[in-house]
Amino acid sequence: MATNAARVNDPSTIRRLYGRRAGHKLRQGQAQLIEELLPQIEVPDGPLSSEDLFGDRRPLHFEIGFGSGEHLGYRADLLPDHGFIGAEPFLNGVVGALTHVREKALGNVRLHMGDALEVLERLPDASLRFVYLLHPDPWPKARHAKRRMMNHGPLDLIAAKLAPGGEFRFSTDHPIYCRWAMMIMHQRSDFRWIAESARDMLERPGGWPETRYEAKARRLGHEVWYFRYQRV
């Protein structure tokens, strides 16, 4: 676990969401999803648990910044008896996730449009089976490193909420962020890197779908790196 000094000025203390919140204007059907479906599956206020969110005890997964919801929707459809929580500040991304929920009739998804860390804090410790952080904004300039989600403050929180043996998955197509993440994770003793060879970080694990963002990155000639860490 990182010291308090290492947490200063990272996302867990700054608590500011950077970047735009909306893109193109929503079409009528998309606006209807926000107005009608989102309130039905939105993460409620107050303390959270599997029972609060899904009415029973089940393994919980949490995705930080789910983009258009492709990975979230795929995993939720693959594991219908598990519960999936996704947090995303971008309005059009939330619309994308809602579209997957509607088209696949996913009853095991709850969404939060806003800060993922605020929701994580309200979950019981050791309550999560998986946490996903896929292709986060790399903030490549050195002066913006404090904005990266791969910092000790957020990782302290993720570690607290993951059950022993739980898994944290991270991916990026940005070489600066890849090196940064490896450096940060190397400093931690509460996660074990699940890798047996260098190929493990270059090949997408089973049950991990390719998203449109990842496909675009590959078309642009970017390498993609995959990381799996077990909570110890």
Contacts of 45 (CB under 8 A, 6+ apart): none
Known catalytic membership, residue 137: yes
Length of the chain: 232
Please tell me the distance from the alpha carbon of residue 49 to that of residue 127, in angstroms, as a whole number.
8
Which of 154-190 are b and which e, b meaning 16 or more Cβ less than 10 Å from the residue's Cβ? bbbbbbbbbbeebbbbbbbbbeebbebbeebbeebeb
Check 52, 77, 137, 200 and give the catalytic one.
Answer: 137
Instruction: Report d(CA 74, CA 67) in Å as an integer.
Output: 13
Helices (H), the chain: 4-7, 11-14, 28-32, 38-41, 50-54, 70-78, 91-104, 116-121, 152-161, 175-186, 212-219
Chain Cα centroid distance, residue 160:
15
Tokens 């990266």 identify what position? 148
Distance from CA of residue 106 to its chain's centroid? 18
The first and second tokens of residue 51, run together, are: 């029972």
Give catalytic residues, as residue numbers. Answer: 137
